[in-house]
Amino acid sequence: MKRKLRLKPSVLKVLKILGTILVIFLSLLIFYFIQVNDLTKIGYSKKAANQILIKFKKKDVINIGKNKTLNKAFESEAYKEKNFDSYTKIKYQNHEHLTENINKLLKKGYTNEEISIILAHGTDQDVSEFAKRDKVRYLEEFYTIDFAKIKYYDRYLNYMDSSREDEETSVLIVNLEMDKEEYEDPVVVKNFSYDMLVNKHRMLSKDFVPNDLVMIGLDYASEKGLKANRTALIAAKKMIDQAEKEGYQLVINSSYRSYEDQEEIEKTYRDLYGDNYVSKYVLRPGFSEHQTGLSFDIGSRRANVFAKSEEYKWIVENCYKFGFIYRFKTDFEEITGIRHEAWHYRYVGKKIAKYIYDNNITLEEYYVRFLDK
Ligand code: ZN
C-alpha cells in the first residue's frame, strides 16, 4: 500500500528556514575557502591567511605578493599593525622569534635596512640578546663584512679601539678568539673533519681520537709505530711517491700524537729546558694539530736541515696538489701563533689546499671566511 508523505505546513516552514540557513552557511564557507586559497596559492600559510582575513589585510597582502617575513608576522602572536610596512621590507631569516625581534629593534630606532643586517649576522638567540641592548652606533662599519657576527659587537669595537686595526682584521681576529690570550677560554672542537681547525684558541679534548687511524709502514716513515688518518695518509703516500719519481726523497717523521703523547712531550721538554722554553715552544696538550691525525712532519731522507733541502722546495710548491697545506709559514706567524715550521704539512683536501695555496692565506682565515657559519 502506497501513501504519499505529507508534511504539516508548520514543519515545512521550519525546514525551509533551516534549508536557507544551510545554503547561506555553505556559501560563506565556500567564499571563505576561496579567500584563503587566494592567499595560500601565492605562498602564505593557512594560519597566516586566516589572520590576514581577520585583520582585513587581504588586499594589501595580495598587492605585495609572496613575502616570508610578512607571512611569519601574520603567523605570530606578536604581529603589530603599525609595523606592517617594515615586515614587508625586512629580509627574512628562519628565526623562531623573528617578529618579536623585529618589533623590539624597530622600537629601539633601527631602520628596516639595519634590522635586515642584524638578522643576517646572528642566530635567533643572538638577535634576541642584541635586541635587549641600547641602539649601537657603528653597525654598518662591521656588518658589511659578511662573516661578522652580531654577538661579538662589543669585542669588535674593543679590539679595534685597542689595536687600531681596521674593521675586517678586527672581525677576523675576534672570530678566531684571538682577542683573548693564547690558551685562554678556548673553544672545544668536538667533531673530526678534514677541514677542522685546531690552534691555541681551539682545542681538542683528552678523549678526542681522529677517525680511521692507521699505521704507517717504514717505507714511508722514519720510525715504527706512527699513525695517521687513512685518507690523509693515502694522500701523503701519493705525494711522497710523486716526489720520488721526480728525484726527491721525502719521509714522514711524525704524524698522529694523542693528548697523552703531547703531555709526555711537554714533560720531557720541561725537564730538559725548563718552563720558559715549554711555554714558548711546546704546545699544550689538546692544542696540537697532530692530535687530528691530519698533520705530518716531513723530512728529507738525504738532508739534515729540511728547510735547506731540495725536498723542501719541492713540497712547498707541490703539496697542495695532494690536498696538503704549508701550515706554519713565516708570513703566517702572527695569525697561527706558531713560529715558522718548514716541516709541518696539514691535510685539508685538494679543494681547500688549492685555494689556500693560490691566495696565500692561513687555514685560520679560510675557516673564518668559508667554514664558520
Ligand atoms: Zn708538526
> What is the C-alpha separation between 87 and 99, in angstroms, rounded?
8
Alpha helix segments (H runs only) across 284-332:
310-318
What is the whole-number distance in angstroms between the Cα of residue 212 and the centre of ligand 1? 20
> What is the C-alpha separation between 325 and 349, in angstroms, rounded?
9
What is the whole-number distance in angstroms between the Cα of residue 57 and the centre of ligand 1? 65
pTM: predicted TM-score of the whole model, two decimal places: 0.84
HSE-up (13 A, CA, CB side) for residue 54: 10
What is the whole-number distance in angstroms between the Cα of residue 343 and the centre of ligand 1? 7
What is the whole-number distance in angstroms between the Cα of residue 291 and the centre of ligand 1? 10
Write out the catalytic residue numbers: 341
Q: How many residues does the chain have?
A: 373
What is the whole-number distance in angstroms between the Cα of residue 344 and the centre of ligand 1? 4
Q: Tell me the residue type at 17.
A: I
Grid cell digits, residue 230:
687513512
What is the whole-number distance in angstroms between the Cα of residue 218 and the centre of ligand 1? 19
What is the whole-number distance in angstroms between the Cα of residue 172 and the centre of ligand 1? 24
What is the whole-number distance in angstroms between the Cα of residue 295 and the centre of ligand 1? 6
Helices and strands in the chain, H and E counts: 18, 8
pLDDT at 3: 64
What is the whole-number distance in angstroms between the Cα of residue 270 and the centre of ligand 1? 19
Longest dimension (CA), the chain: 121
Taking CB atoms within 8 Å and a gap of at least 24, the contacts of 244-247 are 246/314
**DSSP single-letter state for residue 370:** I
Grid cell digits, residue 86:
617594515
Grid cell digits, residue 124:
635567533
What is the whole-number distance in angstroms between the Cα of residue 337 and the centre of ligand 1? 14
pLDDT tens digit at each of 373 positions of the chain: 556 667 788 888 999 999 999 999 999 999 999 999 999 999 999 999 999 999 999 999 999 999 999 999 999 999 999 999 999 999 999 999 999 999 999 999 999 999 999 999 999 999 999 999 999 988 888 898 999 999 999 999 999 999 999 999 999 999 999 999 999 999 999 999 999 999 999 999 999 999 999 999 999 999 999 999 999 999 999 999 999 999 999 999 999 999 999 999 999 999 999 999 988 889 999 999 999 999 999 999 998 899 999 999 999 999 999 999 999 999 999 899 899 999 999 999 999 999 999 999 999 999 999 999 7
Burial class of 229 by CB neighbour count within 10 A (0 to 12, 13 to 18, 19+):
buried
What is the whole-number distance in angstroms between the Cα of residue 231 and the centre of ligand 1? 18
Residue that is written with C-alpha cell 694539530 in the block:
289
HSE-up (13 A, CA, CB side) for residue 160: 16
Smallest Cα–Cα separation from 312: which of 255, 357, 250, 221? 250
